[in-house]
Amino acid sequence: MAHVIITGGSSGIGAAIARRCAARGDAVSVVARTPGPLHRLQAELAGRSAPVAVAQADVGDAAAISDAFARLEVTAGPCDLLVTSAGVVQPGRFDEQPPAEFEAQIRTNLFGTVNCVRAVYAGMKARRQGRILMIGSGAGLIGIYGYSAYCASKAGLVGFAEALRLEARPAGVAVSICFPPDTETPQLAAELPLRPAEAQAIIGGGGRMSADAVAAAALAGVERGRFAIYPGTQMRLLGLFGSLAKPVLAPWYDRRIAARGRR
């Protein structure tokens, strides 16, 4: 029985991963900031074959995360799989977005993941086993109008994952990063009313997936030992051919944005 620690696991992709891990018999520990959804998920999963533990902590607080993870490992044993799903997105044009909103996205999405990895990495290296799954975004692969902070945080996460993979592999620790498209979650529902029209013009409405479909793809990718996991056709094409397509996409984006601005 593996011990899976999931951050941001009280809703969305994290909760879907928690349900799938609990169903297959893993010991699941869920970490989130908001107690209500956290305890509702614990109650939902209670009574299944494996224990479910929860801890309230903000991934942006390194000391709080270190303490929470230590307590969870005392309860359920060393972490075998870490899933860093905690994330925030606040669309806004760069010159209109308050610095605090910009910094909060970097703090949670990038440094929050770093804090969580640091809390389990030494133990995994000492045991010479362990897996780390970071939930990134298609926004880490290409810039999007009105998402400068979010894109910066997720692109930074890609660099962190790539470098960490090289360091971790000789120590027996596997690193993966998943690139979901727009995913049907409470966070997306809150984000869409704030999305600039120019962003919607280039993102469109296609490629959306359910949280459970993303969770299934992410866990399958980890089991297969994949580093980069691309749920859905659009993300797979962007991940595999994005560097070649960007010279074509950039002028197309420019035209779409300009057309939107003339309306």
Quickly state the pLDDT bin for 191 (edges 50, 70, 90): confident
The confidence score (pLDDT) of residue 215 equals 97
pLDDT above 70 (res 261): no
Report residue 212's pLDDT band, with 50, 70 and 90 as the boundaries: very high
Task: Summarize pLDDT for 131-167 with one digit per residue, the tens.
Answer: 999 999 999 999 999 999 999 999 999 999 999 999 9
pLDDT of residue 206: 56
In the chain the beta strands, taken as DSSP E runs, fall at 3-7, 27-32, 52-56, 81-84, 130-135, 173-178, 183-184, 209-210, 228-229
Residue 246 phi/psi, 5-degree rounding, is -60, -40
Residues 42-98: pLDDT tens digits?
A: 999 887 667 789 999 999 999 999 999 999 999 999 999 999 999 999 999 999 999
State how far the Cα of 203 lies from the Cα of 192, in Å rounded to an integer.
11
- In the predicted model, is pLDDT for residue 263 greater than 70? no
Q: Which amino acid is at 129?
A: Q
Query: Structural domains in the chain?
Result: 3-261 (3.40.50.720)
SS3 53: strand
Would you put residue 56 in left (φ > 0), alpha (ψ -120 to 50) or beta? beta
- Tell me the whole-structure pTM to 2 decimals: 0.93
- Quote the CA–CA distance of 156 and 180 in Å, as a whole number: 16
Mean of the per-residue pLDDT values of the chain: 92
Exposed / middle / buried, residue 151 (Cβ in 10 Å: 0-12, 13-18, 19+)? buried
